Structure 1
């Protein structure tokens, strides 16, 4: 058994050490593309060639597919949108990157033609996709800030014209009680011909604790006839609203204005609906505790 195993090993070594010609497939990696151009989608992605090597080496390259890097800028054909690598140059590239000591021949293409597309640029706004819930008594203050708020895209004009905005992936957070400042990735562009300069944005949101507050103020009557005296019942109303603790003492009744429009009165039942026409920034859910106001007319 020992001598049988030993003879088998020698047979395999002898068999696989012989020089032979094998067909090898290689992938192409295009590098150093000029900044004002991008690769067209229909460029060649792989090629085949014959490699004169022993069977161990051939087996290695069949198992691990070689990658041939092609410098696009080095073969750019003047001002035209293509780079051309002739067969001799392509054979040399393959030989240098696979194994200089092995013979490469019969490359599957007579020349490698690399098609390029001119690119334009366009800025589009970023839309944050969020699903946020706040801890009881807490809420957001103001609008969220997104930096950068717009993204530079590069690609063919026809494709750029079809894109009006870029969205982030959905960001979820529950029971929020502190201000947020997080990085959120952008949703990628399906087309490989479009390049995004940025791939993520910083999303900031101010969060504070809120409390309820009530203010009382007089109702202003508008569009009333000058020949009549109108008495409102009641002539003062309360506004109930939520405000952050940092602004709680700064908000007063003077920051609001409530009106009743005589032109919109219900003449049959003698009442008007009060409206809030002025309110300060930073408050939420402002409501009138009085839903309708009666009136008397004195002539």
Structure 2
């Protein structure tokens, strides 16, 4: 006769290993009618794992005599069984470890013309606590969401996005979804005029930049439009990087407000004159 094994009462800090037996066989001494009855069903033998832990707590062992009693008590204690397929039932256990990994949102978002996201999206939680065997946890570096698609957005977003399920059933996640929030506003173009600062200039003589002021073109949300000023930018020319043959330098934006987007100089090169 074949019987399925169901492991119960596994200690909370342990997990059943994948290599444990799921079935066992034995001969059942019975009369003709009992043989017909038991031949049409597959009994389930429930094994209390916590009751048979060995001292190391890495495994549980049910010896042959105890296993025989378990089978009889759960099949029919008035019968006799012989030839159990294992001399003892060894139950291997894995320690449950914990690991926190970051969440990676997978999104495809487009905005209505003139609108854009303000700052980075906020994810809550931004990391997930996993529980499972160490050998499985070591193979997981992040948890991604299912792909979230939204087009032509003109309002702020706040949505729940499910996490992709783990491949192994032996690893548990404390959360199954995250909240994804993105502030969306209307943006407009703005231009400010900024002085150009010369760096690494020679100690002798003087240098005149032409022009000495440049326009910075950028986009900014309407809520911050009037707050962004020319003083928030710094544009430099590095004399050490000059083109000596054609007497020009390339201006660079080195300081700008983090809230703006697509900052660009309308002047691409600065000519210079040297006065001795």
Whether the TM-score (by the shorter chain) exceeds 0.5 is: yes
Instruction: Work out whether residues 32 and 71 of structure 1, in 8 Å CA contact, stay in contact via their aligned partners in 2.
Output: yes
Query: Which one of the candidate residues 155, 158, 161 is aligned to 1:184?
Result: 161
Answer yes or no: is 1:150 the counterpart of 2:132. no
Taking the aligned partners of 1:74 and 1:295, their CA distance within structure 2 comes to 88
Query: Which one of the candidate residues 64, 67, 83 is aligned to 1:87?
Result: 67
1:208 aligned residue: 185
CA shift in 2, pair 1:286/1:92, >3 Å:
farther
Q: CA offset at residue 129 of structure 1?
A: 2.2
Instruction: Work out whether residues 122 and 182 of structure 2, in 8 Å CA contact, stay in contact via their aligned partners in 1.
Output: yes
Query: How large is the Cα RMSD of the aligned pairs?
Result: 2.9
TM-score scaled to structure 2, two decimals?
0.83
Taking the aligned partners of 2:137 and 2:48, their CA distance within structure 1 comes to 27
Instruction: Work out whether residues 90 and 112 of structure 1, in 8 Å CA contact, stay in contact via their aligned partners in 2.
Output: no
Instruction: Work out whether residues 125 and 151 of structure 1, in 8 Å CA contact, stay in contact via their aligned partners in 2.
Output: yes
Q: CA offset at residue 54 of structure 1?
A: 8.4
Query: Which one of the candidate residues 8, 13, 18 is aligned to 1:36?
Result: 13
SS in 2 for 1:246: helix
Answer yes or no: is 1:121 the counterpart of 2:98. yes
CA shift in 2, pair 1:209/1:55, >3 Å:
farther
Q: Which runs of 5+ in 1 are unaligned?
A: 1-22
Answer yes or no: is 1:194 the counterpart of 2:174. no
Answer yes or no: is 1:252 the counterpart of 2:232. no
Matches within 5 A, 1:220-259: 220-259=197-236
User: How many residues are treated as equivalent by the alignment?
Assistant: 268
Taking the aligned partners of 1:93 and 1:237, their CA distance within structure 2 comes to 91
Deviations 1:63-89 (A, max 9, x none): xx6655443223323433222343234
Taking the aligned partners of 1:177 and 1:30, their CA distance within structure 2 comes to 54
Larger radius of gyration between Structure 1 and Structure 2: 1
Q: Which runs of 5+ in 2 are unaligned?
A: none
Query: Which one of the candidate residues 275, 278, 286 is aligned to 2:263?
Result: 286
Answer yes or no: is 1:112 the counterpart of 2:92. no
Query: Which one of the candidate residues 247, 251, 262 is aligned to 2:239?
Result: 262
Instruction: Work out whether residues 72 and 79 of structure 2, in 8 Å CA contact, stay in contact via their aligned partners in 1.
Output: no
